[in-house]
Structure 1
Amino acid sequence: MVETFRKILVPLDGSEHSRRALRYALGLAQAQNAHVALLHCLERIPMLIGGEPRIELEKELVREAEKLLAPFAKKVRQLGIEPALIIKEGQPGEVIVQEAKSGDYDLIVMGSRGLSALQGLFMGSDAHRVLSAAHCPVLLTR
């Protein structure tokens, strides 16, 4: 039996690796008539920042994330697929795994490295976290 994918989750951070991952995801989505969701993870705001400054910072981070996702969403729409746009706060590896499970995604397509490649050398990469904990297949691209 051939495995098919209905829902594909694509985490994006703006890195070249994530751009390549989107190209793979779009090829699969077109071939299998799958739904595509674009996910961007926001870093947590330190608890020291509160009140109105925190609210304004949250709004600004969401605006920046929307700007980052806009050109990717445009590429998806050009192929006749309406993407879901998801912006969540937290550690990317954890957020990706949680979103994939709660959204009942069949596949995660992501870059093997993101913008935080140096951090990955010392703490373990987000890709490794996702591979270790995801409930569904994960396609890592280079």
Structure 2
Amino acid sequence: MFTKILVPYDGSKGAQRALDRATEMAKLCDAQLIVLTVYRHHSMLEASLSMVRGSVERGGNLDNEMREAAREAADYAKRRAKEAGHEKVSAFIKAGQPARTIIATCKEKECDLIVVGSRGLGATEGYLLGSVSHKVTGLANCPVLVV
């Protein structure tokens, strides 16, 4: 049925539910599971709108902190999917606007399903501009499952 399933992951409870559902579906379909964590380039305004929150306590600059937090989230999601018994998992991090980056990655990787959490860590952006999941459903050329 599906051959490549994209799951955006930001570490939120919604993303965790989406990851679990996507892993179940990937196992049933013997599909490749692609985990994507998106972070934004740091600016004073954009820092509050990122999918992933970094910790400046680690001593790095904010861009590096955001990238490292994204890498940790993606690695965790990949590990969790493998622990659930699915071996065909890859994880990527990308900088950019979350919804557009998700759609671009879906096209680039030729995914035929996106499984996304209904609410992630970008609550401020969701109130002002609409949630990432809402934008993804409007922009995607493939089915989108909102969990």
| TM-score class normalised by the smaller sequence | 0.7 to 0.9
Counterpart residue type for residue 108 of structure 2: S
Q: Which residue of 2 aligns with 1:13?
A: 10
Counterpart residue type for residue 45 of structure 1: H
Is the CA contact (8 Å cut-off) linking 2:119 and 2:131 kept in structure 1?
Answer: yes
Q: Deviations over 1:79-101 (max 9, x none)?
A: 14142111111110110011101
1:58, distance to aligned residue in structure 2 (A): 3.6
Matched, 1:128 2:125: no
Q: Which residue of 2 aligns with 1:22?
A: 19
Matched, 1:76 2:75: no
TM-score, normalisation: structure 1:
0.84
Matched, 1:89 2:110: no
- SS of the equivalent of 2:111 reads coil
Unaligned runs of 5+ in 2: 44-59
Q: How many angstroms apart in 2 are the aligned matches of 1:29 and 1:103?
A: 15
Q: How many angstroms apart in 1 are the aligned matches of 2:128 and 2:114?
A: 24
Q: Relative to 1, partners in 2 of residues 1:27 and 1:59: Cα closer, same or farther, differing over 3 Å?
A: same
Q: Percent identity?
A: 35
RMSD (Å), alpha carbons:
1.8
Is the CA contact (8 Å cut-off) linking 2:113 and 2:144 kept in structure 1?
Answer: yes
- SS of the equivalent of 1:136 reads coil
Counterpart residue type for residue 28 of structure 1: M
TM-score, normalisation: structure 2:
0.81
Q: Which residue of 2 aligns with 1:63?
A: 68
> How many residues of Structure 1 are paired with residues of Structure 2 in the alignment?
131
Counterpart residue type for residue 60 of structure 1: E
1:57, distance to aligned residue in structure 2 (A): 4.2
Q: How many angstroms apart in 2 are the aligned matches of 1:115 and 1:60?
A: 16
Is the CA contact (8 Å cut-off) linking 2:20 and 2:81 kept in structure 1?
Answer: no
Q: How many angstroms apart in 1 are the aligned matches of 2:127 and 2:42?
A: 23
Is the CA contact (8 Å cut-off) linking 2:74 and 2:93 kept in structure 1?
Answer: no
Larger mean CA deviation between 76-85 and 37-46 belongs to 76-85
